[in-house]
Structure 1
Amino acid sequence: MNRTRRSMLAGIAAGGALGLPGCVGGGSGREPGGDEGSDGGAASDGGGPPPTVEAEYHVAYEADALVSRSLDGGVGKDGIPSVDDPSFRPIEEVDFARGTPVFGVVRGGAAKAYPRHLLAHHEIVNDVVGGEPVAVTYCPLTGTAQGFRRGDTTFGVSGRLVNSNLIMYDRGTDTWWPQMLATGIDGPLAGETLDEFRVAWTAAEAWADRHPDSLVMTDETGYVRRYESDPYGTYAPLGGYYAQERTAFPPLASPEEGHPKSVVIGARTAAGAVAFDKATLLAERTLTGRVGGSDARVVAVADPGLATGHVYRNPEGLSVESDGDGYRVDGEGGGFAAADLPLEEILAFDAMWFAWAGFYPDTAFVGEHTGAGDGR
């Protein structure tokens, strides 16, 4: 099954899911773009290497195996162009349809939101938030939105995929970075781990309510795209690729249970990985489990306001219970916000179940298996 992303998209369009924008994965089509509301554009040259951290994430495969299993996505290097000079407006000035998905970021006291339908056409936005150079990334095929510190360099779309997941490259060293792994697999920084930060997948109105001073990215990207059309499907209502059981490309491993496109909140440590069913977490507010392949105890709590979740280490097995809009830990401190429990937080993000299980076949799973897109 050696399919390209172009042929996969054509199949979705033929099935009546959605008409394809003419420029997805196509040529440059550039036009001058502004930076209204931005606090700094991305570097124009390759720059130096991106920041990395000493802590390592669990990776179930050798780097050489991941490179050999990578596939040509059919668009070529930078065929899906990153946005390197994004424009913004105050979120209060934008009239989004209710439920419009955005990716929310808070850095250095500044909040920004990146609409999902824009990133479906670009996958990477190189930006500056709160004075810090960052890359906000999105892979439509795996349903993953993640953020990385980028230092003096920028990230681009390599044109290759592994486990259906975007392989990024940094323009300083040309190292390949599968987005979900945040780990280099080929190039000078192979084996290194990127400095990752939290991105919240939420609704525009929820983000605006939580962060009324937030800026939101506009469609003034410097590219001509039919941003009103998603080349893969729709989230409201759920349709196209996002609702189908089939995947675009063969996964590295397939889970025995659950809908491939159900949504999990995944977290990984050096010891292993754990996935919490997102719809189950939002319904029950707290879930407890262990990291796969270890005895490390963890707890996940829901943030109902943003319809997201946070994962914490819980080595002593302290009780965590919902208390109104907040949480009590070990019977004390009622009112802890989901993002502020007195425990060590583990970075976590939304992912399609097939993609998480493909990269982490030894993952622990917590919750009930639910349907495609549940919890979005």
Structure 2
Amino acid sequence: MGRTARRAAAAVALVLAVGACQAAPSDDERPSSVSPSPGLGPYEDVPSAVTDPDDPELPDPLVDTDRLVTGGPPPDGIPALTDPAFEDVADVDWLEDSDPVLGVSVEGEERAYPVRILIWHEIVNDTVADVPVAVTYCPLCDSALAFDRRVGDRILDFGVSGMLYNSDLVMFDRQTHSLWPQIEGRAVAGTLTGTELDRVSVAVVSWDQWRDAHPDGAVLSLDTGHERDYGHNPYVGYDDPDTDPFLLDTDADPRLPAKARVIGIGSEDAALAVPVDHALESGVVETEVDGEPVTVWARPGTTSALDAAVIAEGRETAVTGVFRPRLDGRDLTFAADGDGFTDHQTGSRWNILGHAVDGELAGERLTPVDHLDTFWFAWVGFTPETEILR
């Protein structure tokens, strides 16, 4: 299939995806036709940026609002999950070993959010170890991020606005209808303009890797209250590097191909992009971000959620981890070893989640560094000053 045909096929797939993901609007509407979530706090009596981000009663937006483009579905057309149900690891028989999952750990409580569910809902409003979190996934950027939902004395509940910015999911909070591009993690329009969410670390790994590390963990259930074709990919072929990003209204930085996969670390003028292919060559990349040492790990081990019609049948892609290479005052260095890693100082074995699984340091954990596995166009769109580690 030639480049033009691949682009056409990807465009058709995206049109079908929008139709498949769109839900019928609720009869119970609030201002701007955004339906409320049951049991949540009321919508505050403020102007809605979902309806008009340029409303003169709101703070000046932080972005050119002409670039907040409609991706297809209306607000809540892709339904976020709230008060989700979970299953014990031992009861899960519907995931393949290579299925990608988003692993979240809060104060020792471990949860996995399968991409085969997130690809249809994009946001899960959850509470983990009494911490309100939003676990998010944008298929168009293949970006997974989690946030603390607490802002001052508010606990925010997030929905899918139906807008895109830099081709990235734009969330809205139901309390003030402010707009939050996912990768930025900051309100760019609305009452809460300028407010930043605190990040919660996410590890995107294969189901068997997460399951083996957390046999007593909890897994987001297929019992979502929605009828979706979980396990199937509505964006078939989207990660083909010869296709263009969907509704990206600027030219991607030419230093790398738009859909090259990178590991993004840091922010603003202290941002670094590590091409995944480069990280895979050695398995371990030792570097610094904003003057602090980090160790970047990459191994094959999961499937792309955006390749084949059935997610578990997608092509193999990398799992990554980024950590502080220091433990109890001791600096560590690492080498890839089989499907894991070994530190040079003690010979202990480590898994991709930064857990020592064998040797002198067994049971220890490295401190994770927030990072983002995504396409180059998405990372550089929000961190234009980023350096590239080559």
For 1:81, the equivalent position in structure 2 comes to 79
Tell me what 2:370 maps to. Answer: 347
2:247 corresponds in structure 1 to 249
1:297-336 deviation per Cα after TM superposition (whole angstroms, max 9, x unaligned): 543321659732115499xxx88343865565xx756648
Q: Which runs of 5+ in 1 are unaligned?
A: 1-8, 31-40, 49-61, 234-239, 368-376
Equivalent residues of 2:160, 2:169 under 8 A apart: yes
1:45 to 25, 36, 41: 41
Q: CA deviation at 1:254?
A: 1.2
Amino acid at match of 2:169: L
Report matched runs for 1:122-201 at 5 Å.
122-151=121-150, 152-201=155-204
Residue deviations 1:323-372 (CA, integer Å, cap 9, x gap): 865565xx7566485748999864112111121122222211114xxxxx
Separation in 2 of the partners of 1:121 and 1:180? 18
Give the superposed CA RMSD: 3.4
Would the alpha carbon gap of residues 342 and 241 (structure 1) be closer, same or farther in structure 2, given more than 3 Å must change? closer
User: One-letter code of the match for 1:136?
Assistant: V
Q: Does the aligned pair in 2 maintain the 1:47–1:154 contact within 8 Å?
A: no
Counterpart residue number, 1:58? none
Q: Structure 1 runs of 4+ off > 6 angstroms?
A: 340-344
Report the TM-score when normalising by structure 1: 0.74
Please point out which of 297, 306, 309 is paired with 1:302: 297
Indicate conservation of the 8 Å contact 2:268/2:383, yes or no.
Answer: no
- Residues 29, 116 of structure 1: alpha-carbon distance in 2 compared, 3 angstrom cutoff: farther
Deviation at 1:78, TM superposition (A): 1.1
Contact kept, 8 Å, 1:262 with 1:353, in 2: the verdict is: yes
* Change beyond 3 A, Cα 1:207–1:80: same
Matched ranges for 1:56-135 at <5 A: 64-95=62-93, 96-135=95-134
User: Partner amino acid for 2:322?
Assistant: H
TM-score by length of 2: 0.71
SS at match of 1:118: helix
Local SS of the residue matching 2:82: coil
Q: Secondary structure at the match of 2:379?
A: helix
- Equivalent AA in structure 2 for residue 128 of structure 1: T
What SS does structure 1 have at the residue aligned with 2:211?
helix
Distance 2:372 2:42 in 1: 28
Which secondary structure state, in structure 2, belongs to the residue aligned with residue 120 of structure 1? helix
Distance 1:106 1:346, change over 3 A: closer
Distance 1:202 1:162 in 2: 26
What is the percentage of aligned positions where both structures have the same residue?
32
Paired letter, 1:27: A
Alpha-carbon distance between aligned partners in 1 of 2:256 and 2:325, rounded to the nearest angstrom: 26
Cα displacement (A) at 1:83: 0.7
Higher relative contact order (CA 8 A, sep 6+): 1
Seen in structure 2, the aligned counterparts of structure 1 residues 110 and 343 have a Cα distance that, compared at 3 Å, is closer
Q: CA deviation at 1:18?
A: 10
Q: Kindly name which structure, 1 or 2, has the bigger radius of gyration based on alpha carbons.
A: 2
Distance 2:174 2:92 in 1: 33
Q: Could you tell me how far 1:252 is from its partner in structure 2?
A: 4.1
Shift, 1:253, TM fit: 4.5
1:212 counterpart residue number: 215
The aligned amino acid for 1:309 is G
Q: Which residue of 2 aligns with 1:284?
A: 282
Quick one: distance in 2 between partners of 1:139 and 1:308? 18
Change (3 A) 1:120 1:46: farther
- Aligned residue identity for 2:65: V
| Aligned twin of 2:304 | none
Q: Is the 8 A contact 1:133 1:150 kept in 2?
A: yes
Contact 1:165 1:355 in 2 (8 A): yes
* Amino acid in the other structure paired with 1:100: D
SS at match of 2:194: coil
